[in-house]
Amino acid sequence: MRFPIALAFASIAMICTATPSHAQAGADTYKAKCMMCHGADGSGSTPAGKAMGAIPFKSPALLKASTADLIAATTNGKGKMPAYGNKLTAPQIEAVIAYVRTLQK
């Protein structure tokens, strides 16, 4: 029985240590693909963001949205936001959402 517990702790340690670099990779992708509409702070107050109706990341609806919902919206598109599932890999999208979560704090 000790092995599963040790494995669980090892998994948690890997997740906790991987998160900062995961968010950093997401920051780089965000700057290249998302910032022109969503802005550096995620407010959506750029000219393109205003034209597209970008919702601020700190809006109650996006704060409540699950990570899976944000990944799905990024992958498949939502509203006027285009789909990025054919432009970014799943790990890149997950990293972007990890970075977006840092902007929501």
Residue 11 lies in a domain: no
Query: Are 57 and 42 spatial neighbours (Cβ–Cβ below 8 Å)?
Result: yes
Q: Which pLDDT score, from 0 to 100, does residue 18 have?
A: 43
Query: Are 52 and 80 spatial neighbours (Cβ–Cβ below 8 Å)?
Result: yes
**16 contacts: CB under 8 Å, gap ≥ 6:** none
Tokens 């000219």 correspond to: 47
Q: Which pLDDT score, from 0 to 100, does residue 4 have?
A: 52
Q: Which pLDDT score, from 0 to 100, does residue 17 have?
A: 38
Q: Which pLDDT score, from 0 to 100, does residue 19 have?
A: 57
Tell me, what CATH number does 58's domain have? Answer: 1.10.760.10
Tokens 């992958």 correspond to: 75
Q: Which pLDDT score, from 0 to 100, does residue 88 have?
A: 97
Residue 26 lies in a domain: yes
Residue 69 lies in a domain: yes
Residue type, 65: A
Query: Are 88 and 33 spatial neighbours (Cβ–Cβ below 8 Å)?
Result: yes
Q: What is the mean pLDDT of each run of 10 residues along the chain (105 residues)?
A: 44 45 86 97 97 96 96 96 96 96 95
Q: What domain range is 28 assigned to?
A: 21-103
Residue 85 lies in a domain: yes
Q: Is 78 helix (H, G, I), strand (E, B) or coil?
A: strand
| Cα separation values, 9 from 2, 51, 66, 98, 100, Å | 11, 47, 24, 21, 26
Number of domains in the chain: 1
